[in-house]
Amino acid sequence: MEKILNYLINEKQQKPVVANKIASSFERHADIKAELEKWIESRIFPTDDKLTIEGCTAKMIYDLAPFMDGVGVYNFLVTLRERPENGKRIIAEGFPRK
């Protein structure tokens, strides 16, 4: 979790309390957390041996919503896993930004 927190605090300039809140969702999903940590190291979404949730990979989500960074993309994969209907609706609506 330290790698994610360092990224959020040092690169995204999040306050520690906000960074902890964002990072906490990854504690429930070790596979998503592990792939996010690889992204933080390389800034590349994997194309081989990639995590797929509800038919979507991180690269597919990024291609649909390039305004998201890696944390946003992997946070969306958490949404797809925990609330698949909500995630699919957001994809269908084209990732509306409020």
Beta-sheet strands, E only, within 1-98: none
- Can you give the pLDDT of all 98 residues of the chain as single tens digits? 899 999 999 999 999 999 999 999 999 999 999 999 999 999 999 988 889 999 999 999 999 999 999 999 999 999 999 999 999 999 999 998 76
Query: Element (H or E) spanning 82, and its range?
Result: helix 70-82
Chain centre distance of CA 17: 18
| Tokens 């190291």 found at | 41
Every domain of the chain and the residues it spans: 2-92
- Report the C-alpha gap between 4 and 54 in whole angstroms: 24
Structure tokens at 98: 């409020």
